[in-house]
A and B are shown apart, each in its own frame.
Chain A
């Protein structure tokens, strides 16, 4: 009898009710949140302008939960059951009310209820669940809409005033550039690491020559940088496959008379070097890139893809294959020429309108082929899920 009494807990309803939300955690998130120096997470949704520019076919309004490195889509799941949140309480209810639960109330020897009580302080009829869509999250579509296109031809001779002025090398401190970049990423609903990855992929850079702005160079601009870089390296005897000082490379790019008027901002050169340098040696975006070295094979691949994107961006502008291969080789340092071959290009980056021609395929257009390849994998995965959205997806 006494044991029964000890495990009997008065249960009450508390007013006013509190506002809580329940968030189902993934194992990674649980680990992150319970770690000693748990980071601050962010709930991000795109700015109105970006939401209109980058349409997500699966959702109109959405909120993403971002850890420093990972992004999750939040889905609100309604339940017919109600989830109450309990909290220990003193069970301060009136003696008259105790009659509701206990016949013996008030008499000596009755259950010692008021000391042992829990109270329901909130009710939740839905939980927030997290998921990552099959393709994952990328900042690139958002960055493409938020950054200005840098497309200055080297033979324009500076009649377009864009980052060409004398002091464009460093009118902006490194810290300020970082703030500018972070402001852009603020509106992009993916994690900081994924934003930085996209930023790096696009060779994006901050320039403050005329006005402070963030740019993404066109394929043509990137190719121009590459060509100048190779010329300069050859002239100054810089071996691109061994570690070199990025500062030396920048100097080699400048002609004597160009020291006052660089062909493009130093930030652009650094962005390109950062993009194509050996990944293990790539410093975080928060750090200046001082040293770099290139990998022959990866670099050749990037040059081929970039050349194709610059010369034959669409099916209608397709170019001859042999012409493309020759031009590609001409972009490379002498000793790398043998590396250029169609088979070395990244998967799905080109298309052949007819057997002799070739053209570039935008990364966003490549997804369908990737998706069909990975469809069986997601279908198998869906069988294990208890989410009917995912269960039904495979059957469409």
Chain B
């Protein structure tokens, strides 16, 4: 089949919002999207252990029966952001990402030159279909390497 449909809307979005425990979106309002998805660009990459035995250990230690789990990496901070003054965009110039406790990257929030559509394979479609899950207009961008920090 030489043609694949790209649906302009996400079929699963309704499902996702109805689940009772939708987590609160902690990001600054500018970075929040209806689906909650946001973009983070990094020079380099995040390496997490990929060993399968580790996975099983983690998943059995939590009560969650699903084999999903989260590995903590660090913290994100927008030091100049204030919820009381959302129209002021000066805070975008500074963002921190702590990797572990002793390393920190300095970055910023940038408006994308062109908006980016996040695409996903549509579930439960009889033929192969894609869908636009979200259109993202900003990214959190860390272009420098981590620096050591002694005190947080």
Contact = CB atoms under 8 A, between A and B. Distances in A.
Nearest to B5: A40
Contacts of A91: 23, 70
Contacts of B37: 85-87
A157 to B, nearest CB: 41
Contacts of B44: 81-82
B61 A23 contact: no
B26 interface: yes
Given A101-B101, A120-B46, A12 B68 contact: no
B118 A20 contact: yes
Contacts of B2: 44-47, 186-187, 189
A12 B8 contact: no
B38 A38 contact: no
Given A22-B117, A84-B40, A91-B70, A101 B77 contact: no
Given A91-B70, A115-B24, A118-B38, A102 B82 contact: no
Contacts of B67: 16
Given A25-B117, A118-B38, A41 B6 contact: yes
Contacts of B75: 8-11, 101-102, 113
A322 interface: no
B116 A42 contact: no
Given A85-B39, A92-B62, A100 B100 contact: yes
Interface in B103-122: 114-121
A381 interface: no
Interface stretch (A26-34, A228-236, A362-370): A26-34
A93 B72 CA distance: 7
B27 interface: yes
Interface in B58-106: 58, 61-62, 64, 67-79, 81-83, 97-98, 100-101
Contacts of B68: 14-16
Interface residues of B, number: 69
B24 A19 contact: no
Contacts of A98: 72
B36 A101 contact: no
B121 A19 contact: yes
A271 to B, nearest CB: 25
A11 B8 contact: no
Contacts of B101: 100-103
Interface string B134-145: 010001100100
A83 B40 contact: yes
A9 B76 contact: yes
Contacts of A227: none
Given A25-B117, A187-B2, A84 B70 contact: no
Contacts of A11: 72-76, 97-98
Contacts of B46: 13, 82, 84, 120, 123
Contacts of B116: 22-25, 127
B70 A12 contact: yes
Given A13-B73, A101-B72, A101-B98, A4 B114 contact: no
Interface in B1-60: 2-9, 21-27, 35-46, 48, 55, 58
B3 A42 contact: yes
A316 interface: no
A283 interface: no
B77 A8 contact: yes
Contact of A33 (B41, B81, B117): B117
A141 interface: no
A113 B76 CA distance: 11
Query: Which of A9, A16, A42, A123 gathers most chain B CB within 10 Å?
Result: A9
A116 interface: yes
A135 B31 CA distance: 38
Interface in A89-119: 89-94, 97-98, 100-103, 113, 115-119
A21 B73 CA distance: 23
Query: Which of B37, B46, B75 gathers most chain A CB within 10 Å?
Result: B75
Interface of B: 2-9, 21-27, 35-46, 48, 55, 58, 61-62, 64, 67-79, 81-83, 97-98, 100-101, 114-121, 130, 132-133, 135, 139-140, 143, 152
Interface of A: 3-4, 6-16, 18-27, 29-30, 32-34, 38-47, 65, 80-94, 97-98, 100-103, 113, 115-120, 123, 127, 186-187, 189
Given A65-B6, A94-B61, 6 more contacts: A4-B77, A19-B120, A30-B115, A42-B3, A81-B44, A92-B62
14 contacts: A7-B78, A13-B46, A30-B115, A30-B135, A41-B8, A42-B5, A42-B6, A80-B43, A81-B43, A84-B41, A87-B38, A88-B26, A123-B46, A186-B2
